[in-house]
Structure 1
Amino acid sequence: MGHSKNKVGVIQFTMLTIVSMTDGIIMIPTLAAGVGAISLYAWITTTLGAMILAYAFAQCGRFNKKSGGLGGYAEYGFGKSGNFIANYAYAISLLIANVGIAISVVSYASSFFNVHLSALQVILYSALILIFTGAAVAGGTSFSVKMSSLSMFLQMIPVMIISIIGLFFFDPNIFTAAWNPYHYTVVQTIGFSNSFTLWAFLGLESACSNMERVKNPERNVPIAVIAATVAIGAFSILYTTVIQGIVPNTVLAQSNAPFGDACAYMFGQEAGHLVTALMIVGCGGALIAWQFTLVELLRSGAKEGYFPKIFGRVNSYEIPVRGIIGMLLIQMVLLSMTGSPSMVKQFDALIKLSTVANLVPYVLAMASLDIMQRQSGKDSNLTRLAAVGGGVYSIYACVQCGMDSVTYGMVTVLVGLMIYGLYAVRLQTPYNSRRIR
């Protein structure tokens, strides 16, 4: 009872969960314009799939007794190798996602300064942003949490203003023209839109690992994560629909700063520049928080023996400087491999790769959920159904990211298995230590 004052109720936890899923939205209206306003169908189906995953992850958090987040969930069904692959794939997902966020910052900056950047310039400026945010991680946990809160505020305030006040600037004729400009079927639309609609929900799994912070978690956590998922779905539908009824689709599909352009159509160029500037600073702050999350994931993995020791070594100030440098080097390699004259296409390719990598631990967690509940003495058919539904949806979402992304994702997992094999000897006792003659 002495710790109950430090716990949050269902409303507060719902808000915390929503915050964990609001990063990375700043390019979504442009990606949606590449499909058309008919992507509304994809938002609906993705929200339903995300609700199933949210409930399943809430049950994972309820039954889990192991450390390591997604890796701890996977360990129930797949042992230490499952723990490694889940955290390895999640780390790869964050590495790629953070590169994508850096490119989105450069995209908004190019719009703010009204300059056209070559593919090489995009790579160089994105590299500088990654280096800057990586160095900022040295500020520690408190600084990263503050930057996360600030970034959420700077991004969400203008988005909320556009979503609500934008309704008064909504033009049905512009929206109708944007409905299905590429003449896709509903099935094609859902498939083409899946990667960026699911991107808006990624992060729901992390909220479910903090059940100890919630009052009456068995009741409140499922309510909170499902409510947050519905809220994100409704909010995403609102701001994409409003913007598609303000900015002509041909303009929006080529926009490097969709929220800034929407505000410019509403209030003029100066207001558009102000929103673009807020998005640049806000997204940069979010990237600091995600770089910190990645560094901590790599550090904890190194401590467990899953990742190279360099990621776990800290200096006298408890800062993993070598790990930060190693992380940045990997991101530089990823950045150099994704160069494209179009920042929108580059960002789209990266979020597809990141989504595929993120879905690997999702499938492992869903496959392990029934084992988790049985070991906890429970036997719920609803939980089992959610696990199967969440796993099937994750596999479907993975396939819809495209065969190129799936292939690269599979290769990434295979490389991870090889890495695990090289390090496995340090994690378990050999069955026979005698030399074979």
Structure 2
Amino acid sequence: MAGKAGNNKIGLWPATSLVVGNMIGAGIFLVPAAMASFGSIGLLGWVFAAIGTFFIARVYGNLSMLLPHSNGGPYAYTRHGFGDFAGFLVAWGYWLSTVCTLAAIAISFVSALSTFFPILATNAVAAVITGMSAVWLVTWINNRGIKTSGSVQLITTISKLLPLLVISFGGLFFIRMQNFHPFNSTGGSVADAISSSAAITMFSFLGIECATIPADSVINPGKTISRATMLGLLVTTVIYIMGSVSIMGIIPAKILQHSVTPYADAAVIMFGSNARYWASAGVAIAAFGALNGWTLVQGQMPLAVAYDKLFPSIFGRLNKRGAPYFAFIISAVFVSLFMVMNYTQGLVEQFKFLLLLTTLTTLVPYLFSAGAYIIIRIQEKQKYNTGWLTAILVGTFAFVYSLWAIGGSGRDTVYWGFLLLMAGIPFYVWGLYKKAV
């Protein structure tokens, strides 16, 4: 794909904010409550998940240096290592999962705003209109070009990090050590508790690949993407672990595990009742930033696939600002439909089912990317005759961790996710037919 003009590219900080902003979505504000039932051993789950994600981040950072102008990130790397069919399956699953992710983020955004506008919690019509307005607003922003969406991403990321940093580090002064007991409240072994808690925290690291997807729109992608990926991982890991330490230390586990707003509850203890509002504002900003970042990804991925003639060519159409406008619009349409499903009585379970189906498709790209990295380094051993053994080890660790993560997502998730991936095969066959004629 031809390189874009330098004035329509993003640098290190917007690329890093894309990684951080997409990883730290609204969901992180609920994770401490989900972890409370494990006891303080859950903190080791964060460490374990961070170590596993480190190897995945290294794989993506190294692949971005090996293939610096490969738009589409996981899709491009998988296609390079395993061919068109594997690349298509990764792109298909990733596209569907991102649509559902965007719908879930939009719902989280509305939920956060309900603190300020209670009608959003009781009136489905108002909630849907607000959520859809946010979806189409970020669609408009992204259609202004990647420079604009990158700037918005940087601003929202900095804004949402502020309340997280205040609670994460300020909360250390409010910790009560007795709240960290018991260490393991699961009743099982330490190994099982760490494994189970790591399976939950692992999903908070999804998005580590995001800087690789708009590669052709990044300044000096070979260096910038790698640095942005590792820097993004560092920032999010510190925020996750320190935030969990503070909240677990501030709120007793029996109370924390029933909290639906753990960060807001901690803020109230630290600063008084009014703190709940700025904590909720932080959640809203986090959700909006993630909505913007994942929308950017949702346009850039099908653009790369359409360029390789594995998606309909209409996904590759660009407006005068170089934005894949049709990909953004079709994404917004589907996200809006899924939002309506969530707020329509009788369809809530279907929406949750769609989220279940797409869980696997966010993990499969990591597995394929790690495998592709090993293949590429073996193939180019003569060109890169130093460090290739280390590269193989890094790729192997990332592959094994991704495989473990897929297994840990549950039998139903693997089964239905596999069927969802296979559902894309007719579209792939149709694409082959169109290319042939």
TM-score between both structures, scaled by the size of structure 1: 0.80
Alignment partners' CA distance in 2, 1:92 and 1:54 = 23
How far 1:224 moved relative to its partner? 6.7
Alignment equivalent of 2:330, drawn from 300, 320, 326: 326
1:288 aligns with 292
How far 1:159 moved relative to its partner? 0.6
2:76 aligns with 72
Alignment equivalent of 1:91, drawn from 88, 95, 103: 95
Distance 1:114 1:38, change over 3 A: farther
How far 1:157 moved relative to its partner? 0.2
Across the two proteins, how many residue pairs are aligned to each other?
416
- CA-to-aligned-CA distance 1:197-231 (integer Å, 9 cap, x gap): 223322322335659745994xx976774565345
1:146 aligns with 151
Q: Is the 8 A contact 1:195 1:355 kept in 2?
A: no
2:405 aligns with 397
Mapping 1:134-283, distance limit 5 Å? 134-139=136-141, 140-141=144-145, 142-176=147-181, 179-207=183-211, 213=219, 217=223, 225-226=229-230, 228-283=232-287
Q: Is the 8 A contact 2:14 2:151 kept in 1?
A: no
Alignment partners' CA distance in 1, 2:292 and 2:111 = 17
Distance 1:136 1:208, change over 3 A: closer
Name the aligned partner's letter for residue 200 of structure 1.
Answer: S
Distance 1:182 1:93, change over 3 A: same
How far 1:37 moved relative to its partner? 3.0
Distance 1:391 1:12, change over 3 A: same
Q: Is the 8 A contact 2:359 2:417 kept in 1?
A: no
How far 1:83 moved relative to its partner? 2.1
Distance 1:395 1:285, change over 3 A: same
How far 1:370 moved relative to its partner? 2.6
1:434 aligns with none
Q: Does 1:51 align with 2:54?
A: yes
Alignment partners' CA distance in 2, 1:145 and 1:14 = 10
Which deviates more, 374-383 or 149-158?
A: 374-383
Q: Is the 8 A contact 1:310 1:322 kept in 2?
A: yes
**5+ residue gaps, structure 2:** 1-5
Alignment partners' CA distance in 2, 1:43 and 1:361 = 22
Name the aligned partner's letter for residue 405 of structure 2.
Answer: A
How far 1:347 moved relative to its partner? 11
Alignment partners' CA distance in 1, 2:352 and 2:196 = 11
Name the aligned partner's letter for residue 83 of structure 1.
Answer: G
Q: Does 1:417 align with 2:425?
A: yes
Q: Look up the SS of the partner of 1:256 in the other structure.
A: coil
What is the aligned-residue identity percentage?
25
Alignment partners' CA distance in 2, 1:426 and 1:278 = 48
Which deviates more, 92-101 or 408-417?
A: 92-101
How far 1:156 moved relative to its partner? 0.5
2:396 aligns with 388
Name the aligned partner's letter for residue 198 of structure 1.
Answer: M
How far 1:325 moved relative to its partner? 4.2
Q: Look up the SS of the partner of 1:399 in the other structure.
A: helix
Q: Look up the SS of the partner of 2:205 in the other structure.
A: coil
Q: Look up the SS of the partner of 2:258 in the other structure.
A: coil
Mapping 1:87-126, distance limit 5 Å? 87-112=91-116, 117=121, 121=124, 125=127
